[in-house]
Structure 1
Amino acid sequence: MESKRVLITGAAGFLGSHLCDLFIKKGYEVVGMDNLITGDLSNIAHLFKLKNFEFYNHDVSKFVHISGKLDYILHFASPASPIDYLKIPIQTLKVGSLGIHNLLGLAKSKNARILIASTSEVYGDPSVNPQPESYWGNVNPVGPRGVYDEAKRFQEAITMAYHTFHGLETRIVRIFNTYGPRMRLNDGRVLPAFIGQALRGEDLTIFGDGSQTRSFCYVEDLIEGIYKLLLSDYAFPVNIGNPDEITIGQFAEEIIELTGTDQKVVYKDLPQDDPKQRRPDILKAKELLNWEPKITRAEGLKLTYEYFKSLTKEQLEKIDHKDFSEFTR
């Protein structure tokens, strides 16, 4: 039987590279695409020798052409951390508008099913907790986070328009905080920031008073949920994340205990529009996909910390610093 072929955008990024691994493992032909604005080829270097993997260095905000058949498209190309999308706001908006339009057109022309990576950020600073898919959100469209939040909200809107108007097979995953190997240190997200500070022997920085909450899902669990959603028959958004909620203050204590260090915790002002609570309602994922996370935070943190400890100083520095100069047009 002929193997199915999938296009994964953002393939050299944190989640994209794990998706490439999963689909290769399941016997798919995988086409990876990334302009490397935040991705890193080292995340997928192990795949280049495989005959069922090919890679295109391309910006999906420009016209996208793939020869041959495509069964599935997974759109994961986008800056996803505050440091990234605050440095490159225009590119963040373009990949969430021009990019998704190009890929929806490609899916239509190939008669392919498309899954888009949305985010819990569509809920903004929520007034309900946990956040169900039926909650419309509390988003500031002109605030500093608006470039990311509204790009993702537009992605969802245009994807549903293609589904209802053209009958396109579409899937929407709303991803909550995820962690694991291949994250970039100091990308503005709390977990890699804490681990990076611990590895360097620095004090841990908490923005705000530490009472704000997050819910962390290990990447292996998240990727499995995404795969199940892709193969489902449900076109509306589905939350995928871990509902085990913890305050940032408690989380800092867990990192200090994990790393065996004696850093202090320092506090700085909370950034504008930073969400006070973040916890997914995953009832829909449980009912529709028979999915829920299996890896505990203690297990996942240990695996993640071991990954970062195994990297060389040069690799850590490469992860720590990203040059956006060529993308700031």
Structure 2
Amino acid sequence: MSVFADDKLVVAISSRALFNFEEENRIFESGDAQAYMALQLQRLDQPARPGIAFSLMKKLLAFNDAQAQRVEVVILSRNDPVSGMRIFRSGKANEIKLERGVFTQGRSPFRYLKPLQAKLFLSANAEDVKEALAAGFPAARVLTESVQAGANYPNEVRIAFDGDAVLFSDQAERVFQDRGLDAFQQHESDNVLQPLPEGPFKPFLVALHRLQASGTPAMKIRTALVTARSAPAHERAIRTLMHWNIHVDEAMFLGGLPKGEFLREFEPDFFFDDQTRHVAHAAQHVPAGHVSGGITNQGA
């Protein structure tokens, strides 16, 4: 059995983010826990279909080989242990390696992220994601209504990130919300040489670059920054990444244009954004997740 290492990318994921359990979840949400457990037990030998984050997990696990286990996917779920049996069986049937799982039977599972040493948490439960973000973990609510990832890049993990409140802090976004676009542009020009503070997903981006550097030539990682920023505010974002000694493969400074069509062309396995309208539009084209932190989500 593997043990966690400092350089291992551990991803914690809920069962609904990894597999399509939407039919079963409707019973779970109705409050009839016994009926839910009975249905999962009845379907024990019926593998669940891949969910929205399945492609991302499958590709990340492809970085493992006989020499090194660089990635581990761990189930972290509000499911009960009985339902956990079906999740593990579904993993085996779908050829996705699952060894560890924590099942909390309706209780919030986010507190187990620390002992798991998770560097990313994906869940369909909004409250669990908020708690994980508040505890300092990169986390996103998977939109289960998202379009599934495409199949054009089987040997590339393709991930797209929004900038402010995702890769970067919401410092600049607060200026925009309080004082408008002109003040935001001026603020970013005045502070162009001052790196932005890091946001919740900077550690995950760092982990991806470490994985790329230590990984296998059979798999590659391609990242994109997809932001509503435009010139002249683009420069501070680029300089911040340079200061971190991190590069992204593509950068899209869209100046408020809808992101979905651009993401459709990039074809990511997953896209992360803090604004619900951007995430909802993106989900019509690609797998998407809502990072429910920062000023735009206060009071939500």
Give the TM-score normalised by structure 2.
0.32
Give the TM-score normalised by structure 1.
0.30
